[in-house]
């Protein structure tokens, strides 16, 4: 769906009127296109630790323009602040203020990335305070950025270095246009697992992927993105969506499986289809979902149960079948679509929020189970995304939903798909049990 307001305020007269009246001026975001540079402009790596030195050296090997000190008034593509060894809150000042001196030089669509460690792993209260301080400063800074720039943070577990595969994969993702609608978020790399991509343009080459709810909207966008990145696709949706499903399957040169995922044998049916055609299954994307909105006082059993069955109970049954199968053992990846409603709640969506909160709980509890097979499971939590569903929201509420984030606009289905493709990659193997919001730093919720 087109955001007419955003289009108008990015043109001459509309831009001037919006500026004069103090109206929101959402920028055109820098989104990924195959073949484009990872980032435009120099990258400044701030920090005086071995981790900062090693990360800067690695980025240089990517043929990027990397600086350890900014040149005044030079337009920058990104600023990376490495805070991996802060021991006290006082340690934050020097590197953070050094980065602050370059903020006005950050170009449109620029990136700010902090690299630190989780407060939960701190050895002392002072260290925990410093690490948690990074959380507050990054989320606040992300709300100050303009012109489509974003700020995100990377948290490295004790055994993870700044050049571990998962850390580098996350840095690449946050620098790129793939993360255009990810803002003000932290992502934890919990292990040193993962493999550097053999082909950065085709990171899913040779992988077999299943996407549920693939006939339209976000599901179709996921299918197209995974196919673009090299995956062989199996697309699943209900029989009523068969025509649309076949169209998307033909487009991505995949196969279609018409299936109600709430069937008790859905997991086995998916496995049989993938194994018969491709010999195995590598990536499972749980996208299928429904809404049946009502205030809880008006909620009936049918509305409640149908949402729970499709949105979470079906995923649990399918995952159980996958984890028990010898055909889901090649660095397996599961990515589920959650929602900001399951994190922050949403009026009239108690059933939907319960189901999506359930996805978050499932992902965290399943992480150690799939890690035993060398795999990972993560969730993506979209905020306001421009889909057929949001197009049916009344005009005033739709406009509020679009502007209620730091980027002042709705996301695109492709934004969700890009994040899923990243989490499904081999390089992201050290990221497990995480929930990454794709919401433009929605102002409601964490």
Q: How many residues does the chain have?
A: 446
pLDDT values of the chain reduced to their tens digit, one per residue, 446 residues: 677 767 676 767 766 766 676 667 788 999 999 999 999 999 999 999 999 999 999 999 999 999 998 888 899 999 999 999 999 999 999 999 999 999 999 999 999 999 999 999 999 999 999 999 999 999 999 999 999 999 999 999 999 999 999 999 999 999 999 999 999 999 999 999 988 888 999 999 999 999 999 999 999 999 999 999 999 999 999 999 999 999 999 999 999 999 999 999 999 999 999 999 999 999 999 999 998 989 999 999 999 999 999 999 999 999 999 999 999 999 999 999 999 999 999 899 999 999 999 999 999 999 999 999 999 999 999 998 987 777 676 767 777 778 888 999 999 999 999 999 999 999 999 999 999 999 999 976 65
From residue 179, give the alpha-carbon distance in Å to each of 33, 113, 209, 401, 423: 12, 12, 21, 20, 12
CB 80 within 8 A of CB 43: yes
Alpha-carbon gap, residue 136 to 119, rounded angstroms: 12
Rounded (to 5) percent helix, strand, coil in the chain = 45, 15, 40
What tokens were used for 88?
């006290």
Domains 40-189 and 208-438 share a fold: yes
CB 226 within 8 A of CB 233: yes
The correct CATH number of 40-189 out of 1.10.10.10, 3.40.50.1000, 3.40.50.720, 3.40.109.10 is: 3.40.50.720
Residue 193: partners with Cβ closer than 8 Å, 6 or more residues away: 165, 166, 374, 376, 429, 430
The C-alpha angle 234, 172, 214, rounded to 5 degrees, equals 20
CATH class (in words) of the domain with range 208-438: alpha beta
Please tell me whether residue 356 adopts helix, strand or coil conformation. helix
Beta-sheet strand order (sheet of 150-156): 66-67, 43-46, 76-82, 106-116, 150-156, 186-189
The catalytic residue among 352, 413, 423, 439 is 352
Is position 352 annotated as part of the catalytic site?
Answer: yes
Using alpha carbons, select from 157, 49, 138, 154 the residue that is nearest to residue 99.
138
What tokens were used for 371?
């890690």
First to last CA, the chain: 27
Domain assignments of the chain as residue spans, ordered by start:
40-189, 208-438
Entry pTM: 0.94
Alpha-carbon gap, residue 435 to 359, rounded angstroms: 10
How many CB atoms are located within 10 Å of the residue 31 CB? Answer: 18
The answer for 284, left when phi > 0, alpha when psi is -120 to 50, beta otherwise, is: beta
């Amino acid at each position: 769906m087109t955001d007419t307001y955003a289009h108008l305020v990015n043109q001459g007269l509309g831009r001037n009127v919006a500026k004069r009246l103090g109206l929101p001026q959402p920028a055109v975001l820098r989104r990924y296109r195959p073949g484009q540079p990872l980032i435009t402009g120099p990258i400044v790596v701030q920090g005086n630790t071995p981790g900062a030195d090693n990360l800067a050296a690695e980025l240089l090997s990517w043929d990027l323009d990397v600086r350890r000190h900014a040149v005044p008034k030079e337009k920058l593509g990104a600023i990376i602040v490495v805070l991996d060894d802060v021991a006290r809150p006082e340690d934050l000042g020097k590197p953070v203020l050094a980065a602050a001196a370059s903020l006005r030089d950050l170009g449109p669509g620029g990136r700010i990335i902090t690299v630190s460690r989780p407060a939960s792993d701190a050895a002392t209260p002072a260290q925990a305070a410093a690490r948690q301080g990074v959380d507050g400063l990054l989320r606040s800074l992300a709300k100050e950025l303009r012109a489509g720039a974003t700020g995100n943070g990377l948290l490295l577990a004790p055994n993870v270095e700044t050049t571990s595969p998962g850390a580098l994969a996350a840095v690449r993702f946050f620098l790129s246009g793939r993360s255009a609608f990810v803002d003000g978020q932290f992502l934890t790399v919990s292990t040193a697992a993962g493999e550097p991509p053999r082909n950065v343009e085709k990171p899913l080459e040779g992988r077999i992927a299943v996407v549920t709810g693939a006939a339209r909207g976000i599901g179709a966008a996921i299918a197209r993105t995974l196919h673009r990145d090299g995956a062989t696709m199996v697309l699943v949706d209900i029989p009523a969506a068969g025509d649309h499903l076949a169209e998307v399957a033909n487009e991505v040169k995949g196969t279609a499986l018409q299936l109600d995922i709430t069937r008790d044998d859905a997991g086995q049916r998916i496995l049989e289809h993938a194994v018969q055609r491709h010999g195995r299954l590598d990536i499972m994307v749980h996208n299928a979902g429904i809404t049946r909105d009502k205030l809880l006082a008006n909620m009936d059993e049918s509305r409640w149960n149908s949402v729970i069955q499709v949105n979470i109970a079906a995923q649990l049954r399918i995952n159980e079948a996958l984890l028990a199968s010898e055909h889901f053992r090649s660095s397996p990846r599961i990515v589920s679509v959650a929602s900001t409603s399951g994190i922050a709640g949403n009026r009239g969506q108690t059933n939907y929020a319960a189901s999506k909160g359930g996805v978050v709980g499932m992902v965290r509890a399943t992480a150690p189970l799939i890690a035993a097979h060398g795999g990972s499971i993560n969730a993506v939590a979209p905020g306001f995304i421009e889909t057929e569903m949001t197009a049916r929201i009344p005009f005033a509420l739709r406009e509020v939903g679009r502007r209620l984030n730091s980027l002042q606009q709705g996301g695109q289905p492709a934004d969700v798909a890009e994040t899923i493709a990243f989490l499904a990659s081999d390089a992201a193997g050290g990221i497990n049990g995480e929930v990454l919001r794709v919401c433009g730093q929605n102002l409601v919720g964490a």
